A = this chain, B = another copy of it.
Amino acid sequence: MTESSRAVVLFSGGLDSVTTLAIAGREQGCECYALTLDYGQRHRAEIRAAEHLARQYGARDHVVVRVDLGHLGGSALTDPAWDLPRGGEGPSGIPVTYVPARNTVFLALALGWAETLEARRIFIGVNAIDYSGYPDCRPAFIEAFGHLAKLATKAGIEGRPIRIEAPLLHWTKMEIIRKGLGLGVDYAGTVSCYDADENGRACGTCDACRIRRRGFSDAGIPDPTRYR
């Protein structure tokens, strides 16, 4: 395996990141290094799921890095004092589950690991369609980070820039699910819920659950999610 086939894959263990890992590894033949960020979420279920799933989908290595975003506040996902949105697709504008600068932090850490590994690609499962309205899930953000990556690293300065790849960027949830099923992904093991219980079972009512459920429905596929 050559250096240039190495890729860092940002990997939460949710539907989007498992699909992204399958694309990077099974479809594009990359040697994948999965990176999970533990940023003080409300529950540990998604981290445990990520550990299992990274192995299942062939990651060469998997690292969990703790970053205490909870100290910096500002989100219902890291601050127990905030209520999670359950009323539907969320208010217009940016919902309370937005974690300030989260994808900037995630991509920055992936960039550091990619440089250490001499990897040439970073995969991130962001999506600009069914994305809950987060500013850092838009194509312009991904493009700006790619430009930054060229300037921020030794590899970039030396003419071997690390590319940011967001294969799901323009797909609907339905298209993401169909791609994953075509690559042999079993979505029963993935956790997307903002409020999963200790066994990784989903609430079925938060925004993430509703978007996911509709994706399976639109794809005409039975929803394999384990609800509590």
- Name A's B-contacting residues (CB within 8 A): 63-69, 71-74, 94, 98-105, 107-109, 111-113, 115-116, 135-136, 138, 140-141, 144-145, 147-148, 151-154, 156-157
Contact = CB atoms under 8 A, between A and B. Distances in A.
Contacts of A99: 112
B135 A156 contact: yes
A66 to B, nearest CB: 6
A109 to B, nearest CB: 6
Contact of A115 (B66, B74, B112, B156): B74
B147 A135 contact: no
Contacts of A69: 65, 109, 112
A112 B74 contact: yes
A92 to B, nearest CB: 13
A218 to B, nearest CB: 28
11 contacts: A66-B67, A94-B157, A98-B154, A100-B111, A100-B115, A100-B153, A100-B154, A105-B108, A108-B108, A135-B153, A141-B148
B148 A148 contact: yes
Nearest to A106: B108
A68 to B, nearest CB: 5
Contacts of A152: 101, 103-104, 135-136, 141, 144
A94 B99 CA distance: 34
Contacts of A144: 144, 147-148, 151-152
A72 B65 CA distance: 8
| Most B CB within 10 A of own CB, among A63, A101, A136 | A101
Contact of A112 (B100, B111, B141, B147): B100
A13 B110 CA distance: 26
A101 B108 contact: yes
A83 B46 CA distance: 38
Contacts of A73: 113, 116
A73 to B, nearest CB: 5
Contacts of A136: 151-153
